[in-house]
Amino acid sequence: MMWEFFARSLNASTIFTFAALSELIGQRSGVLNVGIEGVMLFGATLGFIVAQSTGSYLLGFLAAIVIGGVIGLLHGFFSITLGGNQVVNGMGIWILGFGLTAYIGYPYTGPLGMKRIPDIMGLSPFFFVGIALIIITWLVLSKTSLGLRIRSVGENPSVAEVSGINVTKTRYLSVITSGMLMGFAGAIYSLDYNPVWNYNFIMGWGFIALALVFFSMWNPLILLGGSMLFGTLWQLSLNPELVLPGVLSRYIWRTVPFVITIGVLMLMSTKWFSTKWGAAKPEALGQPYEKE
Amino acid sequence: MILKDIKRGDTVLEARGITKRFPGVVANDHIDFGIKAGEIHAILGENGAGKTTLMKILFGLVQPDEGEIYVHGEKVNFRSPLDAIHFGIGMVHQNRKLIPAHTVIENIILGHPKSGNILNLKRTGEEITELCDKYGFNIDLKAKVWQLSEGEKQVVEILKALYRGAKILILDEPTSALAPPETKKLLASIKIMTGDELAIIPFITHKLPIVLTVSERVTVLRRGKVTARLKTADATESNLAKEMVGREVIFRLERVEVGKGKPILQVENLSALNDKRVLALKGVSFSVHEGEIFGIAGVSGNGQQVLAEVLAGLRKAVGGKVLTDGINITHYTSLERWQKGIGYIPSERIDVGSIGDFSLVDNVFMNYYFDDEFSKWGIIDSKKIRKLTKEIISEYAVAAPSSDITAKSLSGGNLQKLILARVLSRKPRLIIANLPTQGLDVGATEFVQNKLMEAKKERAGILLISEDLDEILSLSDRVAPIYEGEFMGILPGEQATRENVGAMMAGLK
């Protein structure tokens, strides 16, 4: 019983891991995507529809990755090429995703109706993929030339440009990769974690993932710990009586991840935080770069 | 192409007849310039003399309309900085082109074609250490850049250029951000590193003594033209200034004794925190009298900025008292201080001193809106404020086509004149001048210093905060060197010398 709870928690944390990691990749290059929830909705819904219609999980996941990449490209076009406000654009993506997927997905309401993806002792195979991806991302960011370029355009694009780095190209690369992973994260939710289509079924997980990136101080390894914490909290909110019988109502438990999210985001925006931890945040985050 | 087999005395870079026109101005007018290996050849000029354009042309950021550039006898055509780097030209920027969050080594290899896909920090580290040994630098390659001093950051920039194979180094205002001891150290290492094969071109606006100590030849620009080419041995500070400005410049302002009056400002044991919530001002006490310039000399970041902000009412004191005419004003707001006749000239001209997107009229008004004369019942008397702005512009020779242009479109010197004029026109009894001439060229500096002197003659008390030792020494009646938030002493003007004030600024009592 206890293991089952634990495995369920880790499966939930897998989705946070993918989503937050995707956001982290974009942010390290200086592009903020607050529309992550919308991209996940797109990936989840399209993946669900394609998998159900073709009977192929592979095609479902591919569709999710492609739509995520396309939205990433769109976000890149607005925020890199046109130099628009990234927060406004991200909000647009969220609203679009929210509305459009509710409309497109409505006829598919209900369970997926396919054989479940096999698990390993109750753990989703994506859990292991997620851990591998965390390690790969960490290695790429800190040990490779590409990672140095991504970090540099996120810290100070004009310095990067002077050093001979193509800022636009590097940012597009990051944003598209980031979008693809967001779509994938959505599809893990709708095809593996909880294969039932429902109105607004991502339920704010994208926003929690967004907060997780700040929470992790842009470090993939801390991010893994953070997503496990949130996964466990989430699971606890579903069945609190399993672990802490009789302590508080499940509805209060269910608010906990969101309360923490709000708390983290508020804390991050304080002056105190930015002076104390300022070095961890990509300096140019959210700022469009214009060549002189 | 890496330049090989360079012998001392070979001409490595030559520019012939460089001309660049921008709408309305000829930024570079047939400039000829050459440099040999093993030589330091300074280019001197005021802001707007065409230095920046020339520098950008040499580094491939701007293409000339006319003229040719030869590197080691070969004609080159730079389309981008990458071309210039390829031909062994390196640039050390004035506003550091470094990423503070990255380590020294990451900054040096950033964008280097040799760095490969997977970074081999050990091997590159060894290569860079070798360069350091060769040129006599000493730096911790694993340190993050934000932990370094300004001088060390400069060394990182130089190493970055050298690591890319630069043999010709362009230094943009190399010492403008450095404290006197760091300047000395940097100049010594530049002299050594030049050796036989490097050629170094420092571009300099002010700080003429630097030119005289390090360089072998000097080229002076004025309004886009070369006005003088000299061997440094034949140059003096005053003839260089004359060539730059086009007229005689008086370097040492005569300190006028106007007779010290009663104290206007008394500061007792004042302490305050900086933005990082660290105690940056640790109990200073002093007073400023009528008709006196009280100079605070210090390297940036030693608490003088915090002191200025506390006195201007922009920052809270955590201990101590500030008195004017015996009244405790420690907790007065900024507005109440203006009304008591305290005028503040901030060091940040565009962020604190003015609103960049506002017109000159509106910017002047920001120091007058609280006077009944200029706004009655909350309604602005725009005619009056417009008239005042016009007077200010003409009296202070602010080069502005109209008083409706935005503040940010003025050059640094002209904006500073406007801010100074706005403060002085209120006839304040106490003036807090925080780095009033920082970044200004020789002409504008002279102007600002003269105006402060005039205010003193009218018996205002002036608190002058400056990082420029010469300015402090020539203007101040008393000098207080500040180090880590404390005064190292208060010296009467006649006892303050470069040597003792310089030593006290570095923390020696």
- Give chain A's domain count: 1
User: Which residue has tokens 């920039």?
Assistant: B157
Of A99, A37, A94, A62, the residue nearest A180 (C-alpha): A62
Q: Report the amino acid identity of residue B375.
A: S
pLDDT at B251: 60
Mean pLDDT of the A3-12 span: 90
- Partner residue facing B82 (CB), from A164, A280, A282: A164
Residues B83 and B103 in one domain: no
Q: Residue B182: is its pLDDT beyond 90?
A: no
Residues B497, B400, single domain; the answer is yes
Q: Per-residue b/e over A190-207, b at no fewer than 16 CB within 10 Å? A: bbbbbbebeeebbeebbb
| Statement to judge: residues B283 and B413 lie in one domain | yes
Looking at residue B96, its pLDDT comes to 76
Shared-domain flag, residues B274 and B379: yes
pTM of the model: 0.74
CATH number of the domain that residue B426 is part of: 3.40.50.300
pLDDT the model gives residue B278: 82
**Residue A292 in domain:** no
> Tens of pLDDT along A42-72?
999 999 999 999 999 999 999 999 999 999 9
Q: Where is the domain boundary, B222, B249, B276?
A: B249
CATH for A104: 1.10.3470.10
- Report whether pLDDT(B1) > 60: no
Has residue B229 got a pLDDT over 70? yes
In a domain? residue B414: yes
Token representation of residue A110:
């209900």
List the domain range (segments joined by +) for residue B212. 8-88+167-249
- In this model, does residue A278 exceed pLDDT 80? no
Q: Say if A290 falls within a structural domain.
A: no
Q: B244 and B142 share a domain?
A: no
Residue A35 predicted with pLDDT over 90: yes
pLDDT digits (tens, 9 = 90+) for B262-318: 899 999 999 999 877 788 899 999 999 999 999 999 887 888 999 999 999 999 999
Q: What is the pLDDT of residues B463-509, one digit of tens each?
A: 999 988 888 888 999 999 998 899 999 999 888 888 888 888 877 76
Q: Indicate if the pLDDT at residue A110 is higher than 80.
A: yes
Nearest chain A residue to B120, by CA: A143
**Domain identity same for B431 and B475:** yes
* CA-based nearest residue in chain B for residue A292: B61
Q: Which of B166, B181, B196 is the last residue of a domain?
A: B166
A279/B110 Cβ within 8 A: no
A143/B contact by beta carbon, under 8 A: yes
Q: Is B192 an 8 Å CB contact of chain A? A: no
Residues of chain A contacting residue B98, judged by C-beta atoms under 8 Å apart:
159
Q: Are residues B280 and B420 in the same domain?
A: yes
CA-based torsion, B477, B483, B484, B489: positive or negative: negative
pLDDT band at B61 (very low <50, low <70, confident <90, very high): confident
The answer, for B116 touching chain A at a CB cutoff of 8 Å, is: yes
Report residue B214 CA to chain centroid gap: 19
Q: Please indicate, yes or no, whether residues B15 and B101 belong to a single structural domain of this protein.
A: no
My answer on whether B347 and B199 are in the same domain is no
B348 with B443, same domain?
yes
The verdict on B172 and B149 lying in the same domain is: no
pLDDT band at residue A235 using 50, 70 and 90 as cut-offs: confident
Is pLDDT at A274 greater than 70 in this prediction? Answer: no
Taking the Cβ of residue B252 and every Cβ of chain A, the question of whether any pair is shorter than 8 Å is answered with no
Question: What tens digit of pLDDT does each residue of B214-226 get?
Answer: 888 889 888 888 8
B387-430: pLDDT as tens digits: 999 998 888 888 888 888 888 888 778 888 899 999 998 889 99
Q: What is the pLDDT of residues A152-191, one digit of tens each?
A: 999 999 889 888 889 999 999 999 999 999 999 999 999 9
Categorize the per-residue pLDDT at B156 as very low, low, confident or very high, splitting at 50, 70 and 90. Answer: very high
Chain A residue numbers with beta carbons less than 8 Å from the beta carbon of B99 are 151-152, 155-156, 159-160, 283
The Cα-based distances of B187 to A206, B73, B115, B174, B215 in angstroms read: 55, 29, 30, 9, 10
**Are A155 and B277 in contact (CB < 8 Å)?**
no
pLDDT at B256: 75
Mean pLDDT across chain A: 90
The number of residues in chain A equals: 292
